[in-house]
Chains A and B, each alone.
Chain A
Amino acid sequence: MALLEVRDLEVEFAMRGARLKALRGVSFDLDAGDRLGIVGESGAGKSMAAYAILNLISEPGRISAGSIAFDGRVLNTLPAEEMRKVRGDRIAMIFQDPMMTLNPVLTVGAQMVECLKTHRTISDGEARALSVQKLREVAIPSPDARFDSYPHELSGGLRQRVVIAIALLLDPAVIIADEPTTALDVTIQAEIMGLMLDLCETRGVSLILITHDIAVVSETTQRMLVMYAGRVVEQGETRGIIARPSHPYTRGLLQALPQRNKPGAELNQIPGSMPTLAELPPGCAFHPRCAYADDTCSGGVPALRTLGKRLVACHHAERLK
């Protein structure tokens, strides 16, 4: 049994009486030490998946179907109190904007100690020692001094390191990172990703990396999910998908990157834009933008089916080979 098992996860939002499905049929397994990437454009539902795993979906949204099992326990039916113990303790989350996680009026140390004391019985002295040690592990210079800094006194890169240190405080089994480096510069992104990979590898922590940047996912994860309009369109080994995508959308995304085009030539663009949840086209949500689309595509939603070593939701996946 995998460490984290997500099955047919579905999230629904009530908007003006109508029910919109923000997420449909997301299933995956995550083993201890695995690294999984979730890729998609804004509005594809990738962050929604992370929030759903942590049971953080709030009104007017709710998990309407499916199950999330962590270490054999079903999370989505846990009472709030129990869920709080899992969250932060066993599963930690890192957000895009460190200022969303860090409270601007408390020192870094106060927030770390508070986090420790919520989940563990620990003395002030021990909490401080442990926090400083974690700050040192994420390569923050002079961690003793930084313990007493306020978040605004730190640079963006240092702040994200602090967030990672807080996420590691309780030795979680899984870290969910939602666009952890999007707000950062490339050199800092490279450092932070390096740090996260290193920490995951040395401690056997599993990582779910949610990002719009396929290049980052291709460098850092073993398996990946590509999402489009709330559904998984392709799922499998990262290397294989990057090398030979089976879904027209994945392929379009990869070919649209400037790296995959001759300098100065016209980029292979995907026409149109992703539909909003309220205006989903019938059948496959991607068909209006797809070069392979025909009547079958507008007629029925393609199921996520096995094709070789991966899962694809496309009627015409064979034609891409």
Chain B
Amino acid sequence: MTEPLVKVQDLQVHFPIQVHFLSREKPVVHALNGVDVEIDRGDAFCLVGESGCGKTTLGRTIMGLVRPTVGEISYDGERISGLRDQALLPYRRRMQMIFQNPYASLNPRMTVQQTLEEPLRFHKSELSDAEVREHTENVMVSVGNDPGWGSRYPHEFSGGQRQRISIARALMVDPEFIVADEPVSALDVSIQAQVLNLLMKVRKERQLTYLFITHDLSVVQHFGTRVAVMYLGTVCEMTTPKTLFATPRHPYSQLLLSAIPKLGRKTFVPVKVPGEVPSPIDLPSGCVFHGRCRFANERCKSQVPELKNYSGAQVACHAVEEDRL
């Protein structure tokens, strides 16, 4: 096998919480607790999980927006975590990001043209004005936008149009890797389909690799080539969407799948989840899911499970390992 494009090893990210400056306590939020992920070239790698599971933090850390506390991130074989801003610049051209909220991700005081030109002029300052304009026009057309939008401001556009402008901005520097953080969850259903189609189209045309962060499993099933299910800052299961939907192994994956409302199901099937998601400030010992897991035993309470291979899936669960499910 060839080298993965993005390799994340034992990544931990802790955020200190602001407390009173005289206080002795220094509580931290454990956003990521030892995550190992490999994203191959051409993958549409989906990160799925509920709010607070660390999926967004993982994406932002890979993009260098958050500094890792422990661990290492490599891109195309080179270590990029902990690099200075200047040293990171060559990678910035190759990796881009699309954000969740189309109403906040475009600078309201900049025209569409200014927004799109900025990354290009910054990274390829050798281009002439005419070349920049031509490239902008090409990208606008390729994402289905009217090139005449350039002189207008973001507030004149609808959510779906703005999201297409954001996608165009990410494509301006011809990246090979794109982190898409919930790119369709703020959009209406009919617009979601448009944006998902666009993301699939540009992936095919440009041979892009995606890290697609979402809470919507139906999008994963449709869009992903690989998927990692996250819970409380750890990966519990990593496999292909097909395997996940056919045979979810980790108890949390099973829970998650059972909770999606099914179109056309005639009766409501209630889901029983004991307890609440624990606070990421005081992580439970052992497996982070043990407090809510029907299969938990003493070992789950004390020992952290590691991701292990089971035909076609990597699962971090003692119960799966001991075949207790």
A and B touch in the complex (CB under 8 A): yes
**Range for the number of chain A residues in contact with chain B:** 35 or more
- Tally the A-B contacts, defined by beta carbons under 8 Å: 129
Contact, CB under 8 Å: B189 / A190? no
Among B217, B219, B255, B261, which residue has the most Cβ atoms of chain A within 10 A? B261
Chain B residues closer than 8 Å to A212, beta-carbon distance: 188-189
Cβ of B221 within 8 Å of any chain A Cβ, yes or no, is yes
Residues of A within 8 A of B268 (CB): 193-194, 197, 219-220
Closest Cβ of chain B to A103, distance in Å, is 23
Shortest distance in angstroms between B227's beta carbon and chain A's nearest beta carbon?
A: 12
B214: shortest Cβ distance to chain A, in Å?
A: 11
Given contact pairs A258-B223, A263-B221, A187 touches B193 in the complex (Cβ within 8 A): no
Question: B270 near A194 (CB under 8 angstroms)?
Answer: yes
Contact in complex: A218, B259 (CB < 8 Å): no
Asked if A256 CB lies within 8 Å of chain B CBs, one says yes
Contact B188 A191, beta carbon cutoff 8 Å: no
Give complex CA distance A280, B108 in Å: 26
**Chain B's nearest CB lies how many Å from the CB of A177?**
14
Q: Which of A254, A258, A269 contacts B221 (CB 8 A)?
A: A258
Number of B residues, CB within 8 Å of A: 45
**Beta-carbon contact of B260 and A186 below 8 Å:** yes
A187 close to B190 (CB less than 8 A)? no
Within 222-237 of B, Cβ neighbours of A (below 8 Å) are at 222-223
Of B258, B266, B270, B271, which contacts A239 at CB under 8 A? B266
Of A158, A214, A261, A267, most buried by chain B (CB within 10 Å of CB) is: A267
Please report which residues of chain B, range 181-237, place their CB below 8 angstroms from some CB of chain A when the two chains form the complex.
188-194, 196-197, 200-201, 215, 217-219, 221-223
* Contact of B264 with A by CB under 8 A: yes
In the complex, A219→B268 CA distance in Å?
A: 5
Q: Which residue of B lies closest to A42 (CB)?
A: B188
Q: How far, in angstroms, from A268 to B159 measured CA to CA in the complex?
A: 19
A95 to B223, CA, bound (A): 32
Cβ A218 vs Cβ B190 within 8 A: no
Which residue of the partner chain, among B51, B160, B263, contacts A259 with CB atoms under 8 Å? B263
Interface class of chain A by DSSP: helix
Q: Is the CB of A258 within 8 A of B196?
A: yes
Instruction: Tell me if A304 is interfacial: C-beta within 8 Å of chain B.
Output: no
Residues of A within 8 A of B296 (CB): none
In the assembled complex, B161 has its CB within 8 A of some CB on chain A: yes
Interface centre among A188, A257, A258 (most CB of B within 10 A): A258
A236 to B98, CA, bound (A): 39
On chain A, the residues within 8 Å of B256 by CB distance are 186-187
Given A41-B189, A194-B270, A273-B190: A155 and B276 interface contact (C-beta under 8 Å): yes
Given the known interface contacts A212-B188, A263-B241, A263-B242, the answer about A257 and B218 at a Cβ–Cβ threshold of 8 Å is: yes
Please encode chain A, from 264 to 278, with 1 for each CB lying within 8 Å of some chain B CB and 0 for all others.
101111110110000
The residues of A that contact B40 with a CB separation of less than 8 Å are: none
Q: Would you give 28 A-B contacts (Cβ < 8 Å), ordered by A?
A: A155-B276, A186-B217, A186-B259, A187-B271, A190-B258, A190-B271, A193-B261, A194-B270, A212-B189, A214-B189, A215-B260, A215-B261, A215-B262, A218-B262, A219-B267, A220-B268, A243-B264, A256-B193, A257-B189, A257-B263, A258-B219, A259-B221, A267-B193, A268-B193, A269-B193, A270-B193, A273-B191, A274-B190
- 7 A-B pairs besides A186-B217, A189-B259, A198-B270 with CB distance below 8 A are A41-B189, A186-B215, A214-B263, A239-B266, A254-B263, A256-B190, A263-B241
